[in-house]
Amino acid sequence: MYLYIVFIFLLVRLAIWVLSNIKLRAFALNFFNRKIRNIDSLFENNFIDSKVLFATRFRALANISLVRPINASEAYAMIVKNFAGEITAVYQYNTFDHDQKKALFNMTIFVLKNKRIIVLGYDYAEILYTGKDYNWANTLLSELANFRVTGRTKVMGFVNSELMN
């Protein structure tokens, strides 16, 4: 009888030790706590998908605002000037233009502090932000709308210049 009591006592102690060493957080089914095993989901076509970047970097889903058509070069200069202290990372997709003999950006992603991302494309700007930054995003959209471009020719497919040969 004494051996049974000792055996049960040791079994209970073992169960307590095992349960105290289990990290229950590891079993949580939270999208943002999981590591990305397939990095392909971060890339869209040839470059980074800004929505996946936002979700993985800030562990939140983004609200998205879009303004188009705008002059991306002027918008780029405004963003660099106005948000110089807030920019934490810049990712660019560039192509080389033989006529101008320099690299021109097709897409730029600015990662800002406070869970914000600004994406500039050929003729658009996309703002990704959390719900508490709605007023900030609305103000920025108004500023970017000042760079509106009219009279551009709509082009089918991926073309880097406004004029086609």
**Using CA atoms, how far apart are residues 93 and 146, in angstroms rounded to an integer?**
24
- 49-90 pLDDT per residue, tens: 888 888 888 888 889 999 988 988 899 999 999 999 999 999
Q: For the chain, give the mean pLDDT.
A: 79
Mean pLDDT of 92-99: 84
Contact 132, 118 (CB under 8 A): no
At how many degrees (to 10) do helices 134-145 and 72-82 cross? 130
Q: Is the pTM of this model over 0.85?
A: no
**What is the average per-residue pLDDT within 127-145?**
91
Domain boundaries of the chain, sorted by first residue: 33-145
pLDDT over 50 (residue 165)? no
Task: Assign 116 a pLDDT band (cuts: 50, 70, 90).
Answer: very high
Structure token digits, residue 126? 């996309």
